[in-house]
A and B are shown apart, each in its own frame.
Chain A
């Protein structure tokens, strides 16, 4: 194999601006009929999807504690067996009834987002055989966010797996782990709020 150099530069990021809903969730912006009436990523599961159903509700707060109403949030996650529905997945055959990706707006009146998905299986850490605690990768874009923000949601009931998790364990500020843990509401229902700035600022990752 020949090593080839980096010869181009990734494009610089620019904020998604106040109208990201037009491009990513157009029905939210008032374009009811375009793209067949629904946005990509609006439905993550069907009847045949394997795994435990969960739902996630939350808001994204700015540094004043105000919920963001003009943002989008995307999830990327493994299926119930811990496999990704992606060409780079070479560890096994993923559940073809689960794309693993979802996208929702933050509501333009309340700022709330909502997902129905499944609880992901565990996946290995980097190229080791050590398993991570189950988690969902999250990406957030909005007006005022200059470069999309990556974070993760972990599950509060996974006490033992979380305590051994290599990513959670490498956080310098262990008192920030709680910003990555969803709150259980009822069986299968979680609340996960994201705080962009200030007290309880969510841990964001450079991946």
Chain B
């Protein structure tokens, strides 16, 4: 083995206390889709600390602007105009540059543009509902969109999703891969949502709630919400890549 320090250590083990368990029966879809047997812990090798790289050339100029990326010329989607912005970092607070973030959401009436969504809330001809971006220096990102509406869903007889935006996140390592959802500060539907409540740690739910940020609103135009994203961090010890007896 060489004495060169490793360029990257393994990731901190996942804290399963803040993630929803696979089986969360109040969210009925999880009942038949949850593995019953234990995950097998295998740790991080080269296939886990590496991950795909995406370039700015993979993306179009309006991909992060959901007000523009599906609308007809000189038309806008209906709804509250918002900016969602923040920083993607790891658990040590280090910004993650060059990472792909993808989002999807309902329109302002709570309707998704999906062949399977039959909700009575109308489609908006000027709203697609997906966006993507690559984080800048220090992990900064921003999207412009309209605030999604709440919608009813088949679970209990009268369950409603709070307004939310789905986030798909990549870090430099494939073991950091994460999909989650962003909620909006002050929404009374958050605390009665069966999907939100799959998260066993109530304080961890707060990490998914974006804060209204008046400082970054555009006066007479667009409100701003700050939502910071944290992916698993990695160890930095010099010793782990120097096993004995190999």
Question: Complex formed: what's the CA distance from A126 to B92 in Å?
Answer: 23
Question: Complex formed: what's the CA distance from A127 to B82 in Å?
Answer: 46
Q: Which residues of B contact A198 (CB under 8 A)?
A: 36
Q: Which residues of B contact A97 (CB under 8 A)?
A: none
* Contact A10 B178, beta carbon cutoff 8 Å: yes
Q: CB < 8 Å: which of A3, A101, A197 contacts B35?
A: A197
Q: CB < 8 Å: which of A9, A62, A171, A196 contacts B40?
A: A171
Main SS class of interface, B: loop
* Contact A100 B172, beta carbon cutoff 8 Å: no
The verdict on A52 contacting chain B, using a C-beta distance below 8 Å, is no
Q: Which residues of B contact A20 (CB under 8 A)?
A: 104, 166, 168, 179
The verdict on B19 contacting chain A, using a C-beta distance below 8 Å, is yes
* Contact B27 A146, beta carbon cutoff 8 Å: yes
The verdict on A50 contacting chain B, using a C-beta distance below 8 Å, is no
- CB of B116 to closest CB in A, whole Å: 7
With contact pairs A84-B50, A88-B7 given, residues A149 and B45 touching in the complex (Cβ less than 8 Å)? no
With contact pairs A76-B47, A127-B240, A147-B19 given, residues A10 and B232 touching in the complex (Cβ less than 8 Å)? yes
* Contact B91 A26, beta carbon cutoff 8 Å: no
Question: Complex formed: what's the CA distance from A202 to B36 in Å?
Answer: 10
Q: Which residues of B contact A125 (CB under 8 A)?
A: 45
- CB of A120 to closest CB in B, whole Å: 9
* Contact A196 B34, beta carbon cutoff 8 Å: yes
* Contact A35 B117, beta carbon cutoff 8 Å: no
Question: Complex formed: what's the CA distance from A175 to B237 in Å?
Answer: 37
* Contact B130 A15, beta carbon cutoff 8 Å: no
* Contact A108 B178, beta carbon cutoff 8 Å: no
Q: Count A interface residues, CB 8 Å.
A: 90
With contact pairs A15-B27, A16-B179, A84-B50 given, residues A128 and B230 touching in the complex (Cβ less than 8 Å)? no
Q: Which residues of B contact A139 (CB under 8 A)?
A: 174, 177
Question: Complex formed: what's the CA distance from A9 to B48 in Å?
Answer: 19
Q: Which residues of B contact A86 (CB under 8 A)?
A: 50-53, 172
The verdict on A159 contacting chain B, using a C-beta distance below 8 Å, is no
Interface residues of B in 141-179 (CB under 8 A from A): 166, 168-169, 172-175, 177-179
* Contact A23 B199, beta carbon cutoff 8 Å: no
Question: Complex formed: what's the CA distance from A106 to B27 in Å?
Answer: 22
* Contact B22 A146, beta carbon cutoff 8 Å: yes
Closest A residue to B58 by CB, please name it: A40
Closest A residue to B49 by CB, please name it: A88
Interface residues of A in 119-177 (CB under 8 A from B): 123-130, 132, 135, 137, 139, 141-150, 167, 170-172
Interface string of B17-53 (1 = CB under 8 A from A): 0111110100101111111110111111111111111
The verdict on B195 contacting chain A, using a C-beta distance below 8 Å, is yes
* Contact A19 B33, beta carbon cutoff 8 Å: no
* Contact B114 A19, beta carbon cutoff 8 Å: yes
Q: CB < 8 Å: which of A4, A5, A9, A41 contacts B230?
A: A9
With contact pairs A4-B236, A76-B51 given, residues A145 and B33 touching in the complex (Cβ less than 8 Å)? yes
Listed A/B pairs (10) with beta-carbon separation below 8 Å? A8-B92, A9-B18, A14-B181, A14-B208, A29-B115, A35-B132, A76-B52, A127-B242, A137-B174, A144-B34
6 other contacts beyond A26-B128, A143-B33, with CB at 8 A cut-off? A8-B89, A12-B201, A40-B100, A85-B53, A148-B177, A204-B39
Q: CB within 8 Å of A: which residues of B?
A: 5-8, 12-15, 18-22, 24, 27, 29-37, 39-54, 58, 60, 63, 69-70, 89-93, 100, 102-104, 112-117, 128-130, 132, 166, 168-169, 172-175, 177-181, 195-196, 198-199, 201, 204-205, 207-208, 229-233, 236-238, 240-243, 246
Q: CB within 8 Å of B: which residues of A?
A: 1, 3-24, 26, 29-31, 34-36, 40-41, 62-64, 66, 68, 70, 74, 76-78, 84-91, 99-101, 108, 123-130, 132, 135, 137, 139, 141-150, 167, 170-172, 196-198, 201-207
